Amino acid sequence: MKKTKPHMSLRAILLLLLVILLPIGTATAAPGFCLAYAYTESGNHSFLVQDNSSNFGNNITIITDCDNLTINIDGKFFARTSKNTTISIEEGLYNISLFSNNFSASYSNVLFYPDFLKWESNYRFEMNQDIELINIDLVDSRTNWAVFFGVVVVWILCVYVYWNLINSFIQRNFIEEVTQ
């Protein structure tokens, strides 16, 4: 007859209890808790509002399942909502707080930039202007003439320098013979 070890049966009982009790503990959610978060959008990009973040966009979108969410900006009451909402904001540095009965979130030093970058605005402005662009054929022609005259100048300078070097060498080594 085979003897069973007492710790093996204890392990089996513990495993059975874990299998039965673990799903019950994870499946039950505490009632009354809610969640909220905020983000901005610019073009096809979204930026999550968090501490020390830089966000592009003129609107903050707040997603929440809280019954009564209060929004404070720089310590002052801004809005109260019970559903998803979008609020406008100017560019600058802000401290944002979201809180409800069972939820609280504070974001400090959140920097907001305009909906699009400054260069894009300038680019769109320039493209709407009637500006005269340089003709590529004219640019190529002027480039060719500049290269030609550059080659001529370099050739003249080289010939002049070599001519003077050769001439000074000949003058230094020139010997005259005097006969009577």
Q: What is the pLDDT of residues 124-136, one digit of tens each?
A: 776 776 667 788 9
The whole-number pLDDT of residue 156 equals 93
Contacts of 34 (CB under 8 A, 6+ apart): 64, 65, 66, 67, 69, 100, 102, 103
Question: For the residues 21-48, what does the mean pLDDT come to?
Answer: 73
18 has pLDDT over 70 = no
Whether the pLDDT of residue 49 is over 90: the answer is yes
Do the Cβ atoms of 91 and 40 come closer than 8 Å?
Answer: no
pLDDT for 154: 94
Cα–Cα dist 80/35, whole Å: 15
Is the pLDDT score of 16 beyond 90? no
Residue 94 reports pLDDT greater than 50: yes
Helix (H, G, I), strand (E, B) or coil at 20: helix
Q: For the chain, give the percent of residues with pLDDT over 70.
A: 77
Q: Which of 59-73, 103-117, 153-167 has the lowest mean pLDDT?
A: 103-117
pLDDT of 24 above 90: no
Q: What is the pLDDT of residues 139-175, one digit of tens each?
A: 999 999 999 999 999 999 999 998 999 888 888 877 7
